[in-house]
Amino acid sequence: MKIYVPGDAAAKALGADDVARAVVTEAAARGVEVTVVRNGSRGMIWLEPLVEIVTDQGRMGFGPMLVADVPALFGDAEAHPKALGLVEELPWMKRQTRLTFARVGVIDPLSLAEYELHHGLKGLRRAIAMEPAAIVQEVTDSGLRGRGGAGFPTGIKWKTVHDAQAPQKYIVCNADEGDSATFADRMLMEGDPFTLVEGMAIAGLAVGATKGYIYTRSEYPDAVSQMQKAIEIARAAGVLGASVLGSGRAFDMEVRVGAGAYVCGEETSLLNSLEGKRGVVRAKPPLPALEGFMGRPTVVNNVISLASVPVIMDRGAAFYKHFGMGRSHGTMALQIAGNVRFGGLFETAFGLSLGEIVDDIGGGTASGRPVKAVQVGGPLGAWFPRELFDTPFTYEDFAAKGGLIGHAGLTIADDTVDMLKMARFAMEFCAIESCGKCTPCRIGAVRGVETLDRIGGGDASGIPLLTDLCETMKSGSLCALGGFTPYPVMSALTHFPDDFTATHKEAAE
């Protein structure tokens, strides 16, 4: 028997390690030879631990599994009370367009041989046969934009570094995934680390960089371990090193772990931390693409941006660009969380409406109460009420409605949530996480908390002051922490003004 039990951190938090041990113990007791593979998560967190058994028909799923459910796996599996059927036929899986996450949950994350059997290294091999400028052009033509939040065209950033003249260039992967309701970076690093290795190697060949760094969080020990092991395996196989796949062109990489500052998700703070300095924002210009890590031209891209490059190079720019809507090309890994019935990772082409994502894919709230609002883009994202659920999930459409996609994390809230408290949380979060470099963020967030407390106490005169403060933070902050904090605050105030009135507070009490 071949049985897959996820080694993903979310699955482990729900008991996957105990289930895996129980499978081995039960098989030994029955004298059954079994191979247990610790794969990545399929993204259906409500079914974790999701155990899969290889059959002649395909991989049968069982979940959410408990240790007590394991013995029945060795009997009539189809009659198992937790049997789900073929995993690939489950509605959650069938509705997706898995490009970047095509291998996650499917293969053994640390088997380079399995990786190659599933289109792995095809993009890198094609890139080796191309001129650097042609690789950059391919990425540009695909329409790929930064998946970390800013949505900046990846090809333009690469071209800037490619054209820069310097004795040393770098590729830096921003894996400092600090937004609430986001876990795509972690899931990919744990479930398919070679994709990131390949994407960074292609980026290095494209711009002339020979060294890469993955900067990630100390809160991601499993992801750190997986990436370090994958890099060692890739280096031993000649995928990394002095001659990438025998091409004569060098590229190597390593993992660096940050100390837990949210602001280090901002690229210049990240670079300061990577250099061993305090993680504070740098003023721009100069841009990191010209003077980045150690003052050298540096590509700084998010995990999902870099992990999308192999499929672009393998299948071609036109194939990737075909997916999406308007100027938002390709796919996006939606991370659905909060008070939601079906939470997890769902990769799909841009263009679904917010309502489809929340109601059809997410299944509404876990509490069964009406959805009041959805925060899109992490703790700095705007709150969208049901009246805006017809908004297509694209960069342009969200920007037009006063929102942002960010890293595509969605936090769903039901009608019991107090939006004034959510606005206060945004300001408090900013005050705590501010690096202190600029006054609008450092002082503005503190004043924001104070002002919201006044409003919560019934002083409506604080509302104009709050609005003015948000405008100052938005236009005067050095980075997105202070600049985007007004999004959740002002969207809460705009769409849910009753939550900011004394009458509402008295009724709630």
Mind listing the pLDDT tens digit for each residue in 439-463? 998 999 999 999 999 999 999 899 9
In the predicted structure, residue 150 carries a pLDDT above the cut 80 = no
112-322: CATH class: alpha beta
Q: What is the pLDDT at residue 260? A: 80
Query: Are 22 and 67 spatial neighbours (Cβ–Cβ below 8 Å)?
Result: yes
pLDDT category, 176, cuts 50, 70, 90?
A: very high
Q: What is the pLDDT at residue 503? A: 55
Q: Which of 229, 276, 270, 236 is nearest to 110 (CA)?
A: 229
Residue 493: CB atoms within 10 A of its CB come to: 22
| Across 340-359, average pLDDT | 97
Beta-carbon-side half-sphere exposure of residue 240 (alpha carbons within 13 Å) = 27
191-205, 297-311, 474-488: which range is least confident on average? 474-488
> Among the CATH numbers 3.40.50.80, 3.30.559.10, 3.40.640.10, 1.20.1440.230, which is that of 419-504?
1.20.1440.230
β partners of residue 373: 385, 413
Token pair 């210049």 in the structure block, residue: 268
Q: Which amino acid is at 82?
A: K
Per-residue pLDDT tens over the stretch 26-43: 999 999 999 999 999 999
β partners of residue 410: 336, 376
CA 91 to chain centre: 22
Q: What is the DSSP pairing of strand 83-86 with strand 170-175?
A: unpaired
Per-residue pLDDT tens over the stretch 385-398: 999 999 999 999 99
CA distance 82 to 73: 9
Query: Are 218 and 229 spatial neighbours (Cβ–Cβ below 8 Å)?
Result: no
pLDDT category, 262, cuts 50, 70, 90?
A: confident
Please state the φ and ψ torsions of residue 275, each to the nearest 5 degrees: -85, 0
CA distance 383 to 367: 19
Contacts of 94 (CB under 8 A, 6+ apart): 88
Q: What is the pLDDT at residue 172? A: 98
| Across 210-214, average pLDDT | 98
Q: What is the pLDDT at residue 504? A: 55
Please tell me the total number of residues recorded for the chain in this structure.
Answer: 509
- Domain locations in the chain? 2-95, 112-322, 326-414, 419-504
Q: What is the DSSP pairing of strand 2-4 with strand 331-338?
A: unpaired
Beta-carbon-side half-sphere exposure of residue 103 (alpha carbons within 13 Å) = 28
Q: Which structure tokens are listed for 65?
A: 């599994």
Query: Are 341 and 363 spatial neighbours (Cβ–Cβ below 8 Å)?
Result: yes
β partners of residue 2: 35
Q: What is the pLDDT at residue 45? A: 98
Peptide bond into 49 cis (omega under 30): yes
Q: What is the pLDDT at residue 314? A: 98
Per-residue pLDDT tens over the stretch 491-508: 999 999 999 986 555 555
Query: Are 6 and 16 spatial neighbours (Cβ–Cβ below 8 Å)?
Result: yes
pLDDT above 90 covers a percentage of the chain that reads 88
Beta-carbon-side half-sphere exposure of residue 336 (alpha carbons within 13 Å) = 28
CA distance 116 to 347: 22
Q: What burial class does residue 400 get, using C-beta atoms within 10 Å of its C-beta: 0-12 exposed, 13-18 middle, 19+ buried?
A: exposed
165 torsion bin: left (phi>0), alpha (psi -120 to 50), beta (else) = beta
Q: What is the DSSP pairing of strand 59-62 with strand 2-4?
A: unpaired
Residue 126: CB atoms within 10 A of its CB come to: 18
> What's the whole-model pTM score?
0.95
Sign of the CA dihedral with 12 first, then 14, 19, and 21 last: positive
Q: Which of 199, 205, 254 is nearest to 231 (CA)?
A: 254
CA 33 to chain centre: 37
The fold of the 326-414 domain, in CATH, is: Ubiquitin-like (UB roll) (3.10.20)
Q: What is the pLDDT at residue 282? A: 92
In the predicted structure, residue 124 carries a pLDDT above the cut 90 = yes
DSSP summary character for residue 72: G
Distances from the Cα of 352 to the Cαs of 318, 339, 392, 468, in angstroms? Answer: 21, 20, 5, 34
Query: Are 148 and 306 spatial neighbours (Cβ–Cβ below 8 Å)?
Result: no
Q: What is the pLDDT at residue 414? A: 97
Residue 249: CB atoms within 10 A of its CB come to: 17
Distances from the Cα of 428 to the Cαs of 80, 264, 379, 435, 448, in angstroms? Answer: 48, 18, 11, 14, 8
**CATH 3.40.30 matches 2-95:** yes
In the predicted structure, residue 274 carries a pLDDT above the cut 70 = yes
Contacts of 219 (CB under 8 A, 6+ apart): 260
